[in-house]
Structure 1
Amino acid sequence: MSATSSSSPSSSSNTQSLPRAFQRLAWSNLCAQSAEQISLAAAPLVAVFALAANARDTGLLQAAQTLPFLLLSMPLGVWADRRSRRMLMTLAESVRVCAMLCVLLLVLTHALNLPLLAVLGLVAATGTVAYNVAAPSLVPSLVPREAYANANGRLELARSVAYSAGPALGGVLVGWIGAGWAYGGAAVLSACAVALLAGLREPPRAATPRRHFMLELRDGTRFVLRDPLLLPMLLTAVFFNLGFFILQAVYVPYAVHRLGLDASAVGVTLGAYGVGMVCGALAAPTVARRLAFGRLLIVGPSCGLLASLVMVATLVVPSFWLALASFFLLGAGPILWVVGSTTLRQAITPQRMIGRVSALISTATYGARPVGALLGAALSARWSIDVCLVAAAFAFVVQALIIVMSPAARLVGIPEQSAAAC
């Protein structure tokens, strides 16, 4: 595997038009991600304002809503390599529709409680897991290699819009109209995602010999752990998600009780994360043209570290604007990381195992989310929310050091797939 390549992020892929099949995937992705963000924003708000939850409760709720990433990513990754990726996403998103409708029914009948909210949040998250595993695996079969970065940028821009509007909309709906409408809106968006996937034609793939499930998992794991570029990318993402979800686990009660924010203001600060993602996604082509590929990969973790320090500053100066700036930075920089790291993974991973590799990375990185949420719940219960914010900042320091010291940071362009990997 070469550390440099003639391929460049500033190539014509930035301007190349993308196939209609990919356009359907991008719009479906926008609907699915929006549904996820509305429900994720609504859950802790409902827990705090309607169910009198404390920081420990919201931490456990966050853990439940992210647990499917740890439990289901690898099995769904093997599915994605064996069967239709479109069908996998369709079935999982349909499950999310049913879960959101169940929450709506429980709200309308005044039967909702914290355990039910957590269980249905866990079920709904299967749609997100399927998208995270299958969509990056589907991209290489829908667009040419030179358009990978452009396609990933489009998917991340759609996700950025969802992250921008979803939390703010969820907060407004819960604060003004009630939780039921937030979950009803999420169900409608998920149903739209299913409808768009139904019209997507997935290209046929070459048949590959079926082997034992554990052998296929082993191959994908070995490929990632032995690769000098993918391993540091994996570790960086793990520590980023660990720190982010320590923060996410306690942020809503912290914002309400320490920063003095109401539901709408909390939604706005959370929505700043998505606004930052949109700004980062729009700036990505310009940044990619001006920076070497490895330098591009450093931007996101560095912004994450700065964001965590800004949030720690609210312990001294409680401020809506500092919280807003922190979430904006958490979105603006790391979106460049997502585009770059996904492009790198697609470029150097053989097609026959891209689903498993994507699943392993999802398992490790998103699996850090429930761990971070549980850690946030434990730290807030044993000590205080202040300790949680400092612990989150420490995790962001670690992820920044890992990527800066890795060979990935020295890449000039997008590397080619090695002969051994083919």
Structure 2
Amino acid sequence: MRDASSSASSSSSTTPRWSGAFRRLAWSNLCAQSAEQISLAAAPLVAVFALGANARDTGLLQTAQTLPFLLLSMPLGVWADRRSRRALMTLAESVRVCAMLCVLLLVLTHALNLPLLAALGFVAATGTVAYNVAAPSLVPSLVPREAYASANGRLELARSVAYSAGPAVGGLLVGWIGAGWAYGGAAALSALAVVLLAGLREPPRASAPPRHFMLELRDGTRFVLRDPLLLPMLATAVFFNLGFFILQAVYVPYAAQRLGLSASAIGVTLGAYGVGMVCGALAAPAIARLLTFGRLLVIGPSCGLLASLVMVATLVAPSFWLALASFFLLGAGPILWVVGSTTLRQAITPARMIGRVSALISTATYGARPVGALLGAALSARWSIDVCLVAAALAFFVQASIIFFSPAARLPSIPEPADEERAAAC
């Protein structure tokens, strides 16, 4: 049974001393996330302003750049439970460096086209998939249990800074001095992440007996689907990502054509997402002291719904400021969700299967990204971008409803872990 007697705010009220390995993980996370955000912001801008892409094209581009989450999360999750997590992240980030350098070369030789941009975006996204699976699995071996929330908050703050600066920097670089510099900067940051990861000392783990790949996937899947806390968290994240990427798929052409924004202005609105994440991450410790753990989990989905309604309002009143506010809300609230949901997953999942559980959640939630992007492309091609914005708002309404009525929303504090016998029974 889980004991909810520990205070949710206890870990946020103290400042632990971080090990050198965790500091390397945090800094490499900042570099890798910054590289990802610069390249993700540059891709649709290059597609629209340099290659003449329409909303359907940018939707398909988003699909290609997010498809690795659906295809690779589970295999990489099994790797993370079997082998070195540091080696997995280092290898995947090295692949991203190669992909970004290829884009740079194609830009400089004027040989870039939409299929190549999509294909290299697919390859580069493998680095992000590896981070999303391996980093949460690595944290429990680098910090004590009482510091999980603080460690996750520190990692998410780094990610927030990347989400804040990355799109703005990407938009400015593309608008001022061309796409090549954006991809060159992304490659340099990704290479720095490789260097930091290469020097990280990962604590040894007890080797698990070899088992069939599908049996290991089955165990992780059963554990999540049978857990009354993890299942609604999974469903909430799926619908959030579905709505977010319906919006992301069409936002750049919508902002350029309907809102009349330049590449630099679009980068600023996208950057507001990261600014919101920074503000939310900085406010998280104070908010955690004021609210129960369950209420903390509700804030993110609620802000996501509000943000989608603000974006729908631009259909009636086209405005740079409304778009800016929408992306700010999409960052400020959901960052609390990411910290809380990651902490919950680490707290209740047995250490031996945390990689598979993280991978399953990444597969389902981030796998919703290419589905959302593809749906955005289809809706814009069949009807209009207006329909895409309304569809995104409906998805955000569903995710807010799921978490609001779930038992997770009523948790007074961070729960205790499931016992190994119950996990084995799954």
TM norm structure 1: 0.99
Correspondence for 1:269: 269
User: Superposition pairs for residues 19-418 of structure 1, below 5 Å?
Assistant: 19-418=19-418
Q: Which amino acid in 2 is paired with 1:63?
A: T
Deviation at 1:210, TM superposition (A): 1.1
Deviation at 1:7, TM superposition (A): 4.0
Q: Which amino acid in 1 is paired with 2:372?
A: G
Q: Which amino acid in 2 is paired with 1:421?
A: A
Q: Which amino acid in 1 is paired with 2:330?
A: L
Q: Which amino acid in 2 is paired with 1:258?
A: R
For the residue of structure 1 that corresponds to 2:2, the secondary structure is: coil
8 Å CA contact 1:27–1:193 kept in 2: the answer is: yes
Q: Which amino acid in 2 is paired with 1:304?
A: G
Q: Which amino acid in 2 is paired with 1:206?
A: A
Q: Which amino acid in 2 is paired with 1:188?
A: A
8 Å CA contact 1:81–1:355 kept in 2: the answer is: yes
Deviation at 1:329, TM superposition (A): 0.1
Correspondence for 1:421: 423
8 Å CA contact 1:9–1:149 kept in 2: the answer is: no
For the residue of structure 1 that corresponds to 2:110, the secondary structure is: coil
Q: Which amino acid in 2 is paired with 1:214?
A: M
Deviation string for 1:278-322 (max 9, x for gaps)? 000000000000000000000000000000000000000000000
Distance verdict in 2 for CA 1:276–1:12, change over 3 Å = closer
Overall identity of the aligned pairs, in %: 88
Distance in 1, matches of 2:54 and 2:418, equals 51
Q: Which amino acid in 2 is paired with 1:339?
A: V
Deviation string for 1:351-389 (max 9, x for gaps)? 000000000000000000000000000000000000000
Number of aligned positions between the proteins: 422
8 Å CA contact 1:294–1:409 kept in 2: the answer is: yes
Distance in 1, matches of 2:224 and 2:106, equals 43
Deviation string for 1:205-259 (max 9, x for gaps)? 0111110000000000000000000000000000000000000000000000000
Distance in 2, matches of 1:172 and 1:79, equals 38
Deviation at 1:5, TM superposition (A): 3.1
Distance in 1, matches of 2:365 and 2:410, equals 23
8 Å CA contact 1:13–1:149 kept in 2: the answer is: no
Deviation at 1:13, TM superposition (A): 5.9
Distance in 1, matches of 2:117 and 2:347, equals 40
8 Å CA contact 2:13–2:285 kept in 1: the answer is: no
Gapped regions of structure 1 (runs ≥ 5): none
Distance in 1, matches of 2:246 and 2:3, equals 34
Deviation at 1:6, TM superposition (A): 1.6
3-12 vs 249-258, which moves further: 3-12
8 Å CA contact 1:153–1:281 kept in 2: the answer is: yes
Distance in 1, matches of 2:89 and 2:357, equals 17
Distance in 2, matches of 1:204 and 1:125, equals 28
Distance in 1, matches of 2:218 and 2:7, equals 30
8 Å CA contact 1:175–1:264 kept in 2: the answer is: yes
For the residue of structure 1 that corresponds to 2:423, the secondary structure is: coil
Gapped regions of structure 2 (runs ≥ 5): none
Deviation at 1:4, TM superposition (A): 2.3
Distance verdict in 2 for CA 1:9–1:99, change over 3 Å = same
Deviation string for 1:92-143 (max 9, x for gaps)? 0000000000000000000000000000000000000000000000000000
Q: Which amino acid in 1 is paired with 2:423?
A: A
Distance in 2, matches of 1:128 and 1:14, equals 30
Q: Which amino acid in 1 is paired with 2:64?
A: A
3-12 vs 339-348, which moves further: 3-12
Distance in 1, matches of 2:334 and 2:81, equals 28
TM norm structure 2: 0.98
Deviation at 1:3, TM superposition (A): 6.7
Deviation at 1:199, TM superposition (A): 0.8
Q: Which amino acid in 2 is paired with 1:218?
A: R
8 Å CA contact 2:294–2:409 kept in 1: the answer is: yes
Distance in 2, matches of 1:3 and 1:376, equals 43
8 Å CA contact 2:11–2:148 kept in 1: the answer is: no
8 Å CA contact 1:3–1:412 kept in 2: the answer is: no
Distance in 2, matches of 1:377 and 1:363, equals 21
CA RMSD of aligned residues (A): 0.9
Distance in 2, matches of 1:254 and 1:179, equals 21
Distance in 2, matches of 1:237 and 1:9, equals 23
Distance in 1, matches of 2:402 and 2:288, equals 21
